[in-house]
Amino acid sequence: MLGALSVEPMTGYAVRQAISETLGHFWSESFGQIYPTLAALEADGLVHRASSGRTSGSRFELTPAGHARLRELLADPIESTPPRNGMLLRLFFGRHLGATACREILEAARDDAEAALVRYEALRAEVVADADDDDEPYWLITVSAGEHAAAAQVAWARHALETLDARGKLSGA
């Protein structure tokens, strides 16, 4: 939240959009958490609610204390979330699921990753067009992370499909 507001002051609704559009490939917040968090931040004096006359709702902006807190939080050690990859879990127990179903999973994974690559291309163009000069290199690094991960998934899925096909032929012969 603090990070989003550090880019520019905006409404809670806009924060939600920013998270699902720009940060969507590496971060998520549920809708029901944004407003309570915003209220808590306001109570702590980290954000300031500026009710704009014209439009409905209110723009929130970081206070100096909010900026300081953001820097603090960013410097905190990174806690990694435990992995939960349902696709790999299914493939691991592929023997019970059957080769055909596994092939479908892999084809879907390949197609998803290819579609993601296209989205990253668009996102990259957007960042180059919109981002501040100071932000741009960092934002591009996160886009690049997505691109590398997606490209790796395409390569992996193709390789895995070949493996299964080769095995299928062997047992069929």
Partner DNA sequence: AGGTACATGTAAGTAGTTACATGATTAC
Partner DNA sequence: GTAATCATGTAACTACTTACATGTACCT
Q: Which stretch binds a second copy (CB under 8 A): 40-48, 50-58, 64-72, 114-122?
A: 64-72
Tell me which of DNA, a second copy, none is bound by residue 26, counting a contact when its beta carbon lies within the kind-specific cut-off of 5 to 8 angstroms. a second copy
- Residue 27 within binding range of DNA, rule CB under 7 A: no
| Contact partner at residue 125 from DNA, a second copy, none, CB < 5 to 8 Å by partner kind | none
Instruction: Give the residue with the Cβ less far from a second copy, 35 or 93.
Output: 93
- Contact between 32 and DNA by CB under 7 A: the answer reads yes
Instruction: Tokens 């590398």: give the residue.
Output: 148
Phi then psi dihedrals of residue 61, to 5 deg: -130, 150
Sorted by sequence, the CB contacts under 8 Å of residue 18 that are 6+ apart come out as 4, 7, 10
Is residue 151 packed enough to be buried (19+ CB in 10 Å), middle (13-18) or exposed (0-12)?
A: middle
Q: From the CB of 79, what's the least distance to a second copy, in Å? A: 6
Contact between 101 and a second copy per CB under 8 A: yes
User: What letters, b where the CB count within 10 A reaches 16 and e where it falls short, cover 67-88?
Assistant: eebbeeeeeeeeeeeeeeeeee
Q: Does 35 bind DNA (CB under 7 A)?
A: yes
Which of the ranges 23-31, 111-119, 151-159, 165-173 carries the binding residues for DNA, by CB under 7 A? 23-31
> Which residues make up the interface to a second copy (CB under 8 A)?
3, 6, 23-28, 67, 70-71, 74-75, 78-97, 101-102, 105, 132, 134-135, 137-142, 144-145, 148-149, 151-153, 155-156, 159-160, 163-164, 167
